[in-house]
Structure 1
Amino acid sequence: MLPLGTVFHGASWQRCRVHQMRNVLSIVPRASQEMLACVLRTIFAQPDAKHVQAQFDEVTRMLERSHPKVAQMLRDAREDLLAFRCPHPNTGARSGPRTPSKSK
């Protein structure tokens, strides 16, 4: 089997945030899940790549004390989780899912 990068040259991989969130929340006590989910969402709510990276660093630093396993899981998945803010090398378009607009 050929490596993904060979077949899809220049394509990026984005890990699903929902599945990553489920994986993270599955290893913390139920009482901490809501707070942790809110903190993690702040990473993805940033206006640009620079702020996303900075918030990711801040969140993982903060979680290192209280939830070191979570901090390590996030660091291990950093590149895949933050791919949504990286422009595509050929088109400049961002990768990742688009939220469909709702018509009323």
Structure 2
Amino acid sequence: MQTLGITGLSKSQVSEMAKDLDTQVEAFRTRPLDEGPYRFVAADALVLKVREHGRVVKIACMVATGINNQGYREILGAAVGSAETKEGWLTFFRDLAARGLSGVELITSDAHAGLVEAAGAVFGGASWQRCRTHYAANLMSVCPKSEWLGVKTLVHSVYTQPNAEDVHEQYQKVLDTVEHRLPAVFAHLEAAREEVLAFTKFPKELWRKVWSNNPN
């Protein structure tokens, strides 16, 4: 506060400032979602450290970001919980729907089972896009360290193709390349094919905005 030229600040002034901020945050978190329909939504839980009862603890902050009808990303909502759970995501998604979130066609997230199941329960008509960045980390866990650079390069080549048909063809070429040499990698890629390539059902100009939840 001193850097702003304020040399004295009473506890009551701090309290009043906090109350004002609380009001603004609450208004933001409960506002009607009337800039939709939001066809594309990215969801992620951020692990944050907070002070609670005099000690520092970790919490999960669930965040949903949508693309509004002007084409811009918009934070739709945020909620905190002691951990990332299916129940927490279910409550969060239901609140978004109650505030007007509609028209969702694709939800992008990591493979947290509770998140995916909750999203399906609330937004049953939406497809699921498995975040390409999170998926790469999952794939790396089954790949020999000495082979990862080559596998990573192969997988990256999938996302550089000019159209949906070529994306699927390149994905198959990657599978053919690793099938016999790296069976665990092959099995992982084969099982994830549908959710990793869900973005190809939409126009190419949107791919970069929907194949990852990294903006969160």
User: Same fold per TM (> 0.5)?
Assistant: yes
Aligned length: 94
Structure 2, gaps ≥5 residues long:
1-89, 91-116
**TM-score by structure 1 length?**
0.76
What is the SS of the residue equivalent to 1:28? coil
Structure 1, gaps ≥5 residues long:
99-104
Give the ranges of 4+ consecutive aligned residues of structure 1 lying more than 4 Å apart after TM superposition: 1-6
Report the Cα distance in structure 1 between the residues aligned to 2:132 and 2:200, rounded to whole angstroms. 13
When residues 29 and 79 of structure 1 are mapped into structure 2, their CA distance, relative to the original with a 3 A threshold, is same
Q: What's the counterpart of residue 96 of structure 1?
A: 210
Larger radius of gyration: 2
Task: Name the structure, 1 or 2, with higher relative contact order (CA <8 Å, separation 6+).
Answer: 1
Superimposed CA distance per residue, residues 28-73 of structure 1 (whole angstroms, 9 cap, x where no aligned partner): 2221111110011011111111001101111101110111111111
Q: What's the counterpart of residue 12 of structure 1?
A: 127
Asked if the contact 1:83/1:96 (under 8 Å) is kept, the reply is no
Report the Cα distance in structure 1 between the residues aligned to 2:152 and 2:186, rounded to whole angstroms. 13
Name the aligned partner's letter for residue 68 of structure 1.
P
Considering fraction of residues, name the structure with more helix. 1
Considering fraction of residues, name the structure with more strand. 2
Identity of aligned residues (%): 33
**TM-score by structure 2 length?**
0.39
When residues 97 and 69 of structure 1 are mapped into structure 2, their CA distance, relative to the original with a 3 A threshold, is closer
